[in-house]
Amino acid sequence: MKLQEKTSLILIVLLIISISIISIFVSAISLSSYLALEESYVSRDVTLATHRIEDESRTLFAIVSDWAPWDDTYDFVGGSRPEYVESNLLPETYANLRLNLIMIVNREGEIVYEGLYNTTSHTVVLVPESFHEHIRPETPLMNMTDSRAGMDGILMTPYGPMLIASRPVVHTDFSGTPRGVVVMGRYLDAPEVDRLSRLTDPSLQLIRVDDMDVPPDLLQELRNNGPGTGIVFRILSDTEAGGYALIKDIYGNDALILRIHQFRDIYRQGVMTTLQYILIVLASGLFLGVAVLFILDRLVLSRIMDLSRQVSGIGTDSDMSRRVTIDGNDEFAGLASTINQMLVTIGTTQKGLLASESRFRELARLLPQVIFEMDTTGRLLYVNQAGAEIFGITEEKIRQGTNVREFLIPDDLPRMQRGLAAVLGGNKSSGEIYSIRKADGTLMRALIYTSPIHREGTVTGFRGIVTDITDRLDLEEALTESQEYLQSLLWSVQVGIVVIDATTHTIVDANPAALSLIGATKDRLVNRICHQLICPAKPGECPVTDQGLVLDNSERSLLTLDGRTISIIKYVVPLMLQGRSCLLETFIDNTARRQIEQELRESRERLSGILHASPVGVFETDRDGHVVYVNERWVEMTGLSIDGMKGRRWTDILHPLDKTRIENEIRAGIENDQIPRKEAR
pLDDT tens, position by position, 243-260: 899 999 999 898 898 998
pLDDT digits (tens, 9 = 90+) for 532-565: 767 877 787 788 887 777 766 777 778 787 778 8
* Per-residue model confidence (pLDDT) at position 113: 94
CATH number of 367-474, picked from 3.30.450.20, 3.40.640.10, 1.10.260.40, 3.50.50.60: 3.30.450.20
Q: Each residue of 115-135: pLDDT tens digit?
A: 999 888 899 999 999 899 999
Burial of 264 (0-12, 13-18, 19+ CB in 10 A): buried
Largest CA distance in the chain: 227
| Domain parsing of the chain, residue ranges | 68-186, 203-263, 367-474, 493-594, 614-671
Checking if the pLDDT of 523 tops 80, the result is: yes
pLDDT of residue 648: 79
Q: Are 52 and 59 in contact (CB under 8 A)?
A: no
Residue 10: Cβ within 10 Å count: 10
d(Cα 115, Cα 95) in Å, to the nearest integer?
Answer: 13
Residues 668 and 365: their CA atoms lie apart, in Å, by 91
Contact criterion met (CB below 8 Å) for 436 and 466: yes
The band of 83, judged by pLDDT with boundaries at 50, 70 and 90, is very high
Instruction: Judge whether residue 4 has pLDDT over 70.
Output: no
Give this prediction's pTM.
0.45
The mean predicted confidence, pLDDT, of the chain is 83
Task: Give the Cα separation of 611 and 634 in Å (integer).
Answer: 10
pLDDT score of 408 more than 60: yes
| Res 318: pLDDT | 64
The burial class, CB within 10 Å (0-12 / 13-18 / 19+), for 208 is: middle
Least confident among 53-57, 298-302, 514-518, 600-604: 298-302
Query: Does the pLDDT of residue 490 top 90, yes or no?
Result: no
Over residues 567-596, the mean pLDDT reads 82
1 confidence band (pLDDT: 50, 70, 90): low
Dihedral Cα 289, 293, 294, 300, nearest 10 deg: 150
Q: DSSP secondary structure string, 430-493?
A: --EEEEEE-TTS-EEEEEEEEEEEEETTEEEEEEEEEEE-HHHHHHHHHHHHHHHHHHHHHHHS
614-671: CATH number: 3.30.450
User: Residue 161: which pLDDT band, with cuts at 50, 70 and 90?
Assistant: very high
Beta bridge pairs of residue 157: 160
DSSP 544-596: TTTT----EEEEEEEE-TTS-EEEEEEEEEEEEETTEEEEEEEEEE-HHHHHH
Give the pLDDT score at 2. 66
CA atoms within 13 A on the CB side of 71: 2
**Does residue 591 register a pLDDT over 70?**
yes
Within a 13 Å sphere around the CA of 145, how many CA atoms are in the beta-carbon half? 7
Least confident among 253-262, 353-362, 587-596:
353-362
Does 414 score more than 70 pLDDT?
yes
In this prediction, residue 56 carries a pLDDT of: 93
pLDDT for 226: 65
Confidence band of 320 (pLDDT split at 50, 70, 90): low
Residue 651: predicted pLDDT: 78
- In sequence order, the 6+-apart residues with CB closer than 8 A to the CB of 464 are 371, 372, 373, 374, 429, 448, 449, 450, 451
DSSP state, 404?
G
pLDDT at 105 over 90: yes
What is the SS3 assignment for 203? coil
Q: How do residues 283-315 score in pLDDT, each as one tens digit?
A: 887 888 788 777 877 777 677 777 777 777 776
Residues 242 and 455: their CA atoms lie apart, in Å, by: 73
Provide CATH code, domain 68-186.
3.30.450.20
> What is the reported pLDDT for 364?
67
Counting DSSP H helices and E strands in the chain, the numbers are 19, 22
Q: Is the pLDDT of residue 359 over 80?
A: no
pLDDT tens-place string over residues 182-194: 999 999 998 989 9
Q: Which residues pair with 466 in a beta bridge?
A: 370, 448
Mean pLDDT, residues 631-650:
77
Maximum average pLDDT range among 82-96, 561-575, 635-649: 82-96
- Mean pLDDT of all residues in 389-406: 88
Please say whether the beta carbons of 652 and 663 come within 8 A. Answer: no
| pLDDT the model gives residue 618 | 77
The most confident of 106-110, 298-302, 654-658, by mean pLDDT: 106-110
For residues 381-390, give the mean pLDDT: 87
Contact 40, 47 (CB under 8 A): no
Greater pLDDT, 75 or 26: 75
- pLDDT given at position 551: 64
Nearest Cα residue to 208 out of 157, 150, 173, 251: 157
CA atoms of 287 and 281, how far apart (whole Å) = 10
In terms of average pLDDT, the best of 273-282, 351-360, 401-410, 595-604 is: 401-410
Whether the pLDDT of residue 479 is over 90: the answer is no
**Separation CA 325–CA 313 (nearest Å):** 13
Shared fold status for 68-186 and 614-671: yes
pLDDT at 640: 78
Q: Which CATH architecture has domain 493-594?
A: 2-Layer Sandwich (3.30)
What's the confidence (pLDDT) of residue 203? 84
**Band of pLDDT at residue 63, cut at 50, 70 and 90:** very high
Residue 553, phi then psi, degrees to nearest 5: 60, 40
Q: What residues contact residue 246 under an 8 Å CB cut-off, 6+ apart?
A: 209, 219, 222, 223, 225, 226, 227, 230, 254, 256, 257, 258
The pLDDT value recorded for residue 552 is 67
- Would you list the DSSP string of 90-136? -HHHHHHHT-SEEEEEETTS-EEEEEEEETTTTEEEPPPGGGGGGGS
Ranges of beta strands (E only) in 188-299 are 205-208, 232-235, 240-248, 254-263
pLDDT > 60? residue 229: no
438-455 core/surface letters (b: 16 or more CB in 10 A; e: else): eeeeeebebbbbbebbee
